Structure 1
Amino acid sequence: MVSAPAAGTVAVVTGGASGLGRASVERLLADGARVVVADVDRDAGEALAKELGADVRFRYTDVAVPEQVRDLVAVAVGEFGGLHLMVNNAGVSGAMHASLLEEDFADFQRVLSVNLLGVMTGTREAARHMAAHGGGSIVNISSVGGVQAGPSVLTYRASKAAVIHFTKCAALDLAEHGIRVNCVAPGGIPTGLLASATATDEMTDRIRAHMAAMQPLPRPGTPEDVAEAVAYLGGDRSQHVTGTVLTIDGGTTAGLKPTRPAPAP
């Protein structure tokens, strides 16, 4: 049975209005947590908070702006009286180029500001509160693109690899305060992020098919699978777990799907 955050837990989920973030918000809420949803999509965030009820608040937050992340933590503490779980999920992809030779790095600052600085600032601001209030759990969302090398979206891959290393460093730094810092690395989960990097729907579908063909487990991954990992790392059964990376990828980073010879006729 997956461990869940205790009832009464206060959580913040950045990028929580859609995709993996929304699934985590709904999972934590079902476990009895009160959740602050942070997102740059104001309409989606406000609609989600209204839909999910009194235990959810929405706060417009661009995680690339450290002052907004600081204010986000203050909202959680002010609205719900504390902060026990910080889920740094907000992320963006870069434009997909055919080759490094064609890469212009035009989106470098934005990708690194959201994907890396946003995680670093979210971790710091949450930890400042947690260190003074008995500890807590921080879950950073990376990607299998940060674990396993591959071509294209190189700035995105680099940012997600940096999230993993930062998570391990923060885990060591914050352990004395009873703060656990872990990382979830999803792969092959259908969300809108891939489509934002590709030029056409056809290209998106082709890439998804390729990813599925490489995955050893035949079952497709879902945002709810990632939410389960977040709930585990934020729950009381992972009290001795910190500085780890939990891949949710159907076995892709373990190795490519085996190809077996056809049986003899």
Structure 2
Amino acid sequence: MTELAGKVAIVTGGASGIGRGIAQRFAAEGAHLVVADVRDELGESLVDELNSTGANAVYRHTDVGEQAQVGELVDAAVSTFGGLHVMVNNAGISSPLRKGLFHEDFEEFDRVMRVNVLGLMAGTRDAARHMADNGGGSIVNLGSIGGIQAGGGVSTYRASKAAIIHFTKCAAIELAHYEVRVNCIAPGNIPTPILASSATDEDRERLERFEARIRRQMRDDRPLKREGTADDVAEAALYLATDRSRYVTGTVLPVDGGTVAGKVISRKPADKSENLQQQG
């Protein structure tokens, strides 16, 4: 459990959900860790929990929607631990749930794009500036299968995740010269608190019904029937953060149980021979 021993890593949005899972995994692998978030109580509690088990972690309040705070976060990691080897741009918010596109006023467009896209772009830029002068590093951006597959609802969120995927590929090409690798993880159907943030008190019950229906549909469409977890995404982040992926950059890795690969067939073949006959 020492794949990140001696490495310094930042995880934005690290106080809960997928970010928390990644922070826990990185700490378990020996990383010197900076957890960044706007939910101070959750972030500080996580750091206390990690340090009680022998980790070396600090918390820093950071709103990634403010470029200056992102730069200060990178500077703090370097000054605290002496460098930066892994940057995980995970922080993100959802756009509000509406009844449909005709009812969308895009009131939250600027905030969603500023946090999800601009914050991630600034995190990539500021981390890469340090990495380029210090032997390279790994940048892991968190997208979503919502940025790969089109669908109705939360259109601003989906658009922001599509932008993340394209930006990741562009940055990977530009930064490869400096041995800075940039990759994207696209989680799918991982239960996290992010969707709840799109609800108001008035539509929270409607949101819960909507989420249950969507998750049920995704389970039906997903080839793998086991439920995905934040730990599954954390394992993918660990792979991209380490030298095991030293020849991997500009990729988009769905962690979605096969959802974007295609829908399952209508019935399960009786046995392998029948499956081969169907393919032949």
Shared fold, TM over 0.5: yes
Please give the alpha-carbon distance, in whole angstroms, between the structure 1 residues aligned to 2:26 and 2:237. 9
Please give the alpha-carbon distance, in whole angstroms, between the structure 2 residues aligned to 1:100 and 1:91. 22
| Cross-structure match for 2:68 | 67
Which residue, out of 246, 253, 265, partners 2:253? 246
Given the two structures, how large is their TM-score scaled by the length of structure 2? 0.90
Shift of 1:202: 2.6
- Any gaps of 5 or more consecutive residues in structure 1? none
Correspondence 1:88 to 2:89? yes
| Cross-structure match for 1:8 | 6
Higher RCO structure (Cα 8 Å, ≥6 apart): 1
Task: Note the 1:91-106 alignment, pairs <5 A.
Answer: 91-106=92-107
Shift of 1:4: 7.1
TM-aligned CA distance change 1:16 to 1:129, over 3 Å: same
Please give the alpha-carbon distance, in whole angstroms, between the structure 2 residues aligned to 1:38 and 1:250. 28
| Cross-structure match for 1:163 | 164
TM-aligned CA distance change 1:82 to 1:196, over 3 Å: same
TM-aligned CA distance change 1:210 to 1:12, over 3 Å: same
SS at match of 2:45: helix
CA offset digits 1:100-125 (Å, max 9, x no partner): 11111011001000000010000000
| Cross-structure match for 1:218 | 225
- Any gaps of 5 or more consecutive residues in structure 2? 271-280
Please give the alpha-carbon distance, in whole angstroms, between the structure 2 residues aligned to 1:257 and 1:91. 30
| Cross-structure match for 1:233 | 240
Q: What is the count of residue pairs matched by the alignment?
A: 261
Shift of 1:89: 0.1
SS at match of 1:212: helix
* Greater displacement, 80-89 / 197-206: 197-206
| Cross-structure match for 2:195 | 194
**Could you tell me which amino acid in structure 1 is paired with residue 29 of structure 2?**
D
CA contact (8 A) 1:94 1:155 kept: yes
* Greater displacement, 132-141 / 192-201: 192-201
Please give the alpha-carbon distance, in whole angstroms, between the structure 2 residues aligned to 1:194 and 1:59. 24
**Could you tell me which amino acid in structure 2 is paired with residue 15 of structure 1?**
G
SS at match of 2:80: helix
CA contact (8 A) 2:143 2:187 kept: yes
CA offset digits 1:65-116 (Å, max 9, x no partner): 0000000001111111100000000000001122211111011001000000
CA contact (8 A) 1:4 1:232 kept: no
SS at match of 1:35: strand
TM-aligned CA distance change 1:259 to 1:68, over 3 Å: same
| Cross-structure match for 1:52 | 50
**Could you tell me which amino acid in structure 1 is paired with residue 143 of structure 2?**
S
Please give the alpha-carbon distance, in whole angstroms, between the structure 2 residues aligned to 1:247 and 1:189. 12
Shift of 1:194: 1.9
| Cross-structure match for 2:277 | none
Please give the alpha-carbon distance, in whole angstroms, between the structure 2 residues aligned to 1:122 and 1:262. 47
| Cross-structure match for 1:151 | 152
Q: Percent identity?
A: 57
Given the two structures, how large is their TM-score scaled by the length of structure 1? 0.95
CA contact (8 A) 1:142 1:183 kept: yes
CA contact (8 A) 2:4 2:26 kept: no
| Cross-structure match for 2:26 | 28
CA offset digits 1:26-66 (Å, max 9, x no partner): 10111111110000101111111111115010000000000
Shift of 1:207: 2.0
Please give the alpha-carbon distance, in whole angstroms, between the structure 1 residues aligned to 2:14 and 2:245. 23
Please give the alpha-carbon distance, in whole angstroms, between the structure 2 residues aligned to 1:4 and 1:239. 17
SS at match of 1:191: coil
Shift of 1:256: 1.4
